[in-house]
Chain A
C-alpha cells in the first residue's frame, strides 16, 4: 500500500522506483468499469478498443464491467458520469477516468500506468 501511496504523489509513469512498481503491477488485477450509451457509435468503439487493449497488455488479469447509462442512470448519476463513453479504472490505485473512444492507445496506456508494458 505504501508503494501505491508514493505513486499517487509522483504520478504512475516517471517514478524512480519504477522497477518495484512494475513487479507489483504485473501481479495486480485490473478492474474497469465502462459506461456506455446503448449502442451508439462512440460507445461501441470504446468497448472494442478497451477489449483489444486489455488482451494486448493485461492478458488474464482484467475485469471489465459495462454499464449502460440509459438502463442504469442512477449509477451514472452516483458516479458523476456526464459523457459517454467513460472508462473508470477502479483498481489498482490510483483510480483513473478516461472519456472517449479510447482510440489514442498511447495516451490511454499512459493514463492507466501501463507504459512500461508496451516496451
Chain B
C-alpha cells in the first residue's frame, strides 16, 4: 500500500535522514525531537543506518550529532565506516561527536543503579556541540546490565523524558532475532517498541544462498508511511532503499525521437526504429541471436557517438566482442575509444537488488545513453524470485526517467514450447517494444524467425521475418508462405531462385513479344504513311480540278461578252435609249 503524499506533507516536523529512498517511504524522515527504534539482527545494517543519519544530518542539514557507542568502541565504528564515502574524519572535527560508553570490564555492580550520569554528561556534550541528533547504538548492552525489567523500563522512560527535554532526534538501535521480528514483544525490552514514536525493522535473510535485505517501517506516530517491506542494499554511499515510483511523482519526459535498432529492415518493420528512452525486450530460446540483435543496437548507438553500456551475464565481455565480430558487429573499436563499456557477470554478482545498484552506478559514471542487459532473466536466478520482478520494474523505471534507451534480452524456457511464452519476470508487460525470436525447424533445417509482438506507439509489421546472420552483418528477409506454410532457409532460397528463373523466362518472352509488336507497329506506320501520301495527292488533284473548272467557267463568260462587243453596237444602242 502506498501512503498518501498529501497526508505526509501535513505531518509534524521531520528530520530528513538523507538516506536514498527512506525519506520517501517515511514521508520526509524520522520524527524530529522524538525517538526512533531501529531493530535488526546481526549484520542487518543498524549501525550503518544510524551513522548515516548522523552523517547526513551534519553534512546536509546542519544538525550536528552525537553517536553513543555501547558495543563497539568509537574507534572501531569509525574504522568500519571508512569503507563508505562519508568523509567522516572531516565531519568529526566539528559536527560529529563519538562517545564511548562501553561498560568497563572491571566494573563491579552492587545493587540498583541508573543512567543519570550518562544523561548528565551527554546533556553537557550536546550543549557544547549544539547537537540536534543522537544515536544510541546497541541499547540492549546497557539494558542487559540493569538488574530487572522494572529498572530497564524506568531507565528507558528516563531517557525518553531526557530526550524530549533536550529536543534531540534520537535513534536507538536494538538487536532483534532476525528470523522472527515479531517475537520481540516477548523479549525483555519489547516494551520499547510501544514507547517509541517510530520503529523501523531491518531484515537480513538468505534465500537459496542469496543475501536479501529489506526494511519496514512498523510504526510512525502522527504520520502516514509506506507499510511494505522495501528491499535495500548497502553500497559505498551507505543505504540505498529501493523505492518504486511513488504516487504523485511526475512522469519522465516523453520524446518522439527514434533510435535505430541497428538492423535496417527491423527499423522499417517498426516504422522507424525504437523510441528513445524506451524499453525493448528481445525474447527467445537459447541461440536465437538475442545477443546479436542487442549487439547490433549497441554498435549503432556507438556509431551515433552515444555512450553505451553492455551488461553481459552470460559470457565474458571479451568473448561477447569476439563473438559479435563474427557476424560483422565490430565493437572493439568503440571499447577502445571509450564509448562502449562491456561489463560481464564476473564483476556483478550477488542478489538482483545488488546487480541493479551496480548497473545504475556504472551507467551513471559512464553517462550511458543506451543500455543493453543480456539477459535480464539473470535477475531471476534462484533465490531472487521474490525480488526479481520488482528489480526489473525499477530498472525500467529508472532507465526511462534518466532517458536511457534500454534493450534487454530474456531467455525463454525451452520446456515452455515454441509458443511465445511470457518471461518469468513479466517484464513483457512493462516493455514498450517486444521482439520475439524463435526457431523454425523444417526440411532438416533450423532457421531463425523474428516477429514483433508489440510495439507501443509505433505502427509495426505483423509479419514473421527470417533473421539471417552472416559475416556481413544482420539482415532480415521476407519469408515465403506457400500453401499455408512458411518457408525459411534453403527452402526459401530454392523458392526464390525458382522465382528468379520464372521471372527471367517471362522477361524474355515479354521482350520477344515487344519486338514483334514493334515490327508490326513500324509496318503499319509505313503503310499509314503511303496511304496518307496518296490521300494528299488526291486532295491536290481535287483542288486542281476545282480551280481549272472555275477558270474555264470564267473564260467562257469573258468570251461571250467579248463576242458581243465584236458583233456590233446594236446590241448596245437599244439599251442606251
Contacts and interface: CB of A to CB of B under 8 A. Distances in A.
Label chain B's interface by main secondary structure.
mixed
Contact of B116 (A49, A77, A84): A84
Interface in B122-161: 123-125, 145
B114 A84 contact: yes
Interface stretch (A15-23, A58-66, A99-107): A99-107
Interface in B88-130: 101, 103-104, 106-118, 120-121, 123-125
B120 A73 contact: yes
Interface in A85-110: 85-86, 96-104, 107-108
Given A101-B111, A111-B110, 14 more contacts: A37-B116, A49-B111, A69-B116, A77-B124, A80-B104, A82-B118, A83-B115, A83-B145, A96-B108, A97-B104, A98-B109, A101-B112, A101-B113, A104-B111
Report the contact-size class of chain B (Cβ under 8 Å from the partner).
20 to 34
A13 to B, nearest CB: 13
A54 interface: no
A35 interface: yes
A102 B104 CA distance: 18
10 contacts: A37-B116, A37-B120, A42-B111, A81-B117, A82-B121, A97-B108, A99-B113, A100-B109, A103-B110, A103-B111
Contacts of A76: 117, 120-121
Contact of A42 (B106, B112, B118): B112
Label chain A's interface by main secondary structure.
mixed
A46 interface: yes
Contacts of B124: 73-74, 77
B117 A100 contact: no
Contacts of A77: 121, 124-125
A37 B118 CA distance: 10
A45 B117 contact: no
Interface of B: 101, 103-104, 106-118, 120-121, 123-125, 145
A99 B115 CA distance: 11
A104 B101 CA distance: 25
A98 B162 CA distance: 25
Interface in A37-51: 37-38, 40, 42-43, 45-46, 49
B118 to A, nearest CB: 4
A42 B117 contact: no
B101 A100 contact: no
Top 8 A-B residue pairs of the complex, sorted by shortest distance between their CB atoms: A37-B116, A101-B111, A103-B111, A100-B111, A69-B120, A73-B124, A84-B117, A82-B118
Give the residue among B116, B117, B118 with the most A Cβ atoms within 10 A: B117
Contacts of A80: 104
B26 to A, nearest CB: 31
Nearest to A70: B120
Contacts of A43: 116
A17 B433 CA distance: 91
Contacts of B109: 98-100
B110 A107 contact: yes
Contacts of B101: 82
Given A70-B120, A76-B120, A84 B113 contact: yes
Contacts of B116: 37-38, 40, 43, 69-70, 83-84
A116 B116 CA distance: 34
B96 to A, nearest CB: 17
Contacts of A74: 124
A93 to B, nearest CB: 14
